[in-house]
Amino acid sequence: MTSYASVSELIRGEAPDSPLLCFSPASINERVKQFLTHFPGETGWAVKSNPHPLVVRAVIEAGIRAFDVASRHEIDLILQHCPSATLHFNHPVKAPEDIAYAWHSAGIRSFAIDCPEELEKIDAVLDGAGEEARRDTVLTIRFRNTRPAGTGNYSFDEKFGARPGEAAGLLRRVAGLGYRTGLTFHPGSQNRDPESYATLVDLARGIAAESFARGTAALAHINVGGGFPCFYPGGPEPELKTYFAAIANAASSIACPIICEPGRALVAESANLLTRINLRRKDDPRLYINEGIYGSFMETPFVDFQPPVRAYSADGRPFPEAGTYDDFQIWGATCDSLDRLRMPVSLPSAIGTGDFIEFGMMGAYTNATATHFNGMEPARLIAIDEITSWPVGATAAQIHCE
Ligand SMILES: Cc1ncc(COP(=O)(O)O)c(C=O)c1O
C-alpha cells in the first residue's frame, strides 16, 4: 500500500485515470459523536446511504449499534460486521421471502408497514410461531404528513405512508393481533426545516391518542426517520442542534422512546470524489469528466444542492482560490446526453483536459447507487486520514492506495 500526504501528492503519484472516492473514517466519528451526544434518543443508521465495508466498519467503530436495513444483502452485511446489532427492517414494502429470512434466520423483530396488506404478509410469515412471536415483534406504522411542510428537497410521502386516520386504524389492528407497535415517518431528505420534525412528532402523538387510551405510552418507540441534512458551504441548512432541540421539545410529553435512523447526515461529509477532465473543447463551457450521473452523481438531477469543488492541475498543484473563475457545464463519462450535472460549476478559467476536480461531501448515495452503464466501473473508495474541507480548509492528508 502507498500512502500520500495530500490530494496533490496522490495526483502526482498515481495520476488516477478513474474516479476515486477519498473516504475519512475520522469524519464519521465526528458526526456520530454529535448524534450520540445530543440526539434525544437512540441513533441508528440507514445502511443504504453507503454500504461500502470500510464505511460500515467506521460507523460501527464510531458506536452505532442500531440499523435501518432495506434488503437481505444489508441484513447480512451488518450481521457480518456486528453480530449483536439491532436491525429494523423499515422498508415499507418487503418480499414475503425477505420477511421470512429476516424473522426466522436473522432474528429481526422490528418491521415497518404502512397498510393492512403488508401486515397480512408479516402475519402470514409468523403464523404458526405462536403468540409469543407477535409479542416479541414490533410493527411500526409509517405515516405521512398530509400537509408537507416543503423541506426543500425530495419528499418520501408520495411513495409511502398511511394517512394519519388510516395509521390510527392500523395501529389498533396491529395491537389487537398481539404485536408491539411503533410509529415512524420520513420528513424528506436533506430536510431544511427542523420544525417539520416537531409537527410530525405531534402528529404521531395524535395518532397514538386516537388509537389507545394510554396514548404514546402504548408504543415501543417513535422513529423520526432520517432526513437530517449535511452542510454545504454557505448553504441554508440550520445546524443539527436546532433539529435536536425541535425534536426534544416536541417529545417532552411523549411517553415512549424516540429513535432516529439518519443516512446522509452521518456519512455525506466523509468522502470526497476526485475526478479527471477527459476533454475541454476550445472556447466552450463544456467539461467532460470521467464520472457522472450513472456513477457517483446519480442524485444531482433531483436535488437543489451541489457539492463544493476544488481544482488541481494535471501535475497535482491546486489552482489558486484567488484566480479568474468561469461557470462550466459538467458532462458525465457515458455517451448518454442525460449524463450531466444540472447546475453550472465555477472553476478556474484556465482549467483544461487532464486537470482534476475534487468534489466535496460525496459520502452518501454516491457509490451506493453507482452503475456499470457504458461498461464503466463505479468509483473506487480509498481511505484517507483527514478530509479536504471547505471553503478553504486543510487539504486531505494521508491517503492510502492499495
Ligand atoms: C426508511 C428510511 N429511513 C432512513 C432513510 C435515510 O434518509 P436520509 O439519508 O435522508 O437521512 C431512508 C432513505 O431512503 C429511508 O428510506
Q: Return the pLDDT at 181.
A: 98
User: Are 39 and 17 contained in the same domain?
Assistant: no
Ligand 1 atom showing the smallest separation from residue 226 Cα: 11
Model confidence at 88: pLDDT above 70: yes
Looking at residue 102, the DSSP 8-state letter turns out to be I
Compute the distance between CA of residue 144 and CA of residue 76 in angstroms, rounded to an integer.
29
Residue 396 has what pLDDT? Answer: 56
Residue where one domain finishes, among candidates 214, 248, 267: 267
Contacts of 138 (CB under 8 A, 6+ apart): 109, 110, 111, 179, 180, 181, 182, 220, 221
CB-ligand 1 contact for 334 (6 Å cutoff): no
> Is the domain of 319 the same as that of 378?
yes
Whether 75 and 202 share a structural domain: yes
Please indicate whether residue 226, judged by its CB atom, sits closer than 6 Å to ligand 1.
yes
Nearest to 145 by CA among 103, 206, 87, 99: 206
Contact in structure between 153 and 189 (CB atoms under 8 Å): yes
Quick one: DSSP state of residue 49? G
> Does residue 68 line the site of ligand 1, with CB under 6 A?
yes
Residue to mutate, 186, 223, 362, 366, ligand 1, most ligand atoms under 8 Å from C-beta: 186
Residues 340 and 242 in one domain: no
329 - beta bridge partners? 286
Which CATH number do you get for residue 334?
2.40.37.10
CB of 153 closer than 6 A to ligand 1? no
**Residue 14 grid coordinates:** 498515481
207 CA distance to ligand 1 middle (Å)? 22
pLDDT single digits (tens) 363-379: 999 999 999 999 999 99
User: What are the angstrom distances between the C-alpha of 244 and each of 208, 247, 258, 270, 345?
Assistant: 22, 5, 11, 21, 33
Domain end position, chosen among 267, 284, 317:
267
Same domain flag for 18 and 30: no
Give the residue from 261, 299, 370 showing the smallest Cα distance to 41: 261
Which has the higher per-residue pLDDT, 16 or 398?
Answer: 16
Do 11 and 44 share a domain, yes or no? Answer: no
Please count the CA atoms within 13 angstroms of the CA of 40 that sit on its side-chain side: 22
**What's phi and psi for 102, nearest 5 deg?**
-60, -45
Question: How many whole angstroms from 37 Cα to the centroid of ligand 1?
Answer: 21
Same domain, 185 and 279: no
Residue 241's CB: how many other CB atoms inside 10 A? 13
Q: 128-163, pLDDT tens digit by residue?
A: 788 899 999 999 999 998 766 556 567 788 899 999
Question: Is the pLDDT reported for residue 114 higher than 60?
Answer: yes
Is 31 touching ligand 1 by the criterion CB < 6 Å? no
CA of 124 from ligand 1 middle (Å) equals: 27
Pick from 261, 266, 267 the residue to mutate for probing ligand 1's pocket: most ligand atoms within 8 Å of its CB. 261
Instruction: Determine the structural domain holding residue 280 and report its residue range.
Output: 2-22+269-401
Give the pLDDT of residue 6: 84
How much of the chain exceeds pLDDT 70, in percent? 95
User: Is there a contact between 397 and 9 (Cβ–Cβ < 8 Å)?
Assistant: no
First to last CA, the chain: 5
Q: Is the CB of 378 under 6 A from ligand 1?
A: no
The enclosing domain of 135 has a CATH number of 3.20.20.10
Give the number of the atom of ligand 1 that is nearest the alpha carbon of residue 265.
11
Q: Where among 219, 249, 267 does a domain terminate?
A: 267
Nearest to 118 by CA among 189, 155, 167: 167
pTM exceeds 0.85, yes or no = yes
Average pLDDT over residues 191-204: 95
Ligand 1 within 6 A of 265 CB?
Answer: yes
Specify the ligand 1 atom closest to the Cα of 184: 1
Using alpha carbons, select from 86, 397, 68 the residue that is nearest to residue 261. 68
Q: Which residues, 6 or more positions from 244, have their beta carbon under 8 angstroms from its beta carbon? A: 38, 39, 40
Number of domains making up the chain: 2
Beta strands in 153-227 (DSSP E): 180-184, 221-223
C-alpha cell at 233: 458551504
> Quick check: CB of 299 below 6 Å from ligand 1?
no
Q: Does the pLDDT at position 399 exceed 70?
A: no
The C-alpha cell of 395 is what? 487539504
Query: In the 8-state DSSP scheme, what is residue 269?
Result: G
Same domain, 132 and 206: yes
Mean pLDDT (the chain, rounded): 93
**Ligand 1 contact, 87 CB (< 6 A):** no
Q: Is the CB of 369 inside a 6 Å radius of any atom of ligand 1?
A: no
Rounded distance between C-alpha atoms, residue 269 and residue 247, angstroms = 23
Q: What is the pLDDT of residue 394?
A: 46
Same domain, 192 and 259: yes
The verdict on 204 and 92 lying in the same domain is yes
In whole angstroms, give the CA distance from residue 174 to residue 153.
32
161 lines ligand 1 (CB under 6 A): no
Say yes or no to pLDDT of 173 above 80.
Answer: yes
**How far away, in angstroms, is 69 Cα from ligand 1 center?**
10
pLDDT digits (tens, 9 = 90+) for 293-344: 999 999 988 888 889 999 999 999 999 988 899 999 999 999 999 999 999 9
Residues 246 and 282 in one domain: no
User: How many angstroms separate the CA atoms of 322 and 310, rounded?
Assistant: 12
**Nearest Cα residue to 28 out of 56, 3, 9, 48:** 56
- Does residue 269 line the site of ligand 1, with CB under 6 A? no
* 175 in the same domain as 40: yes
In short, whether 262's Cβ falls inside 6 Å of ligand 1 is yes
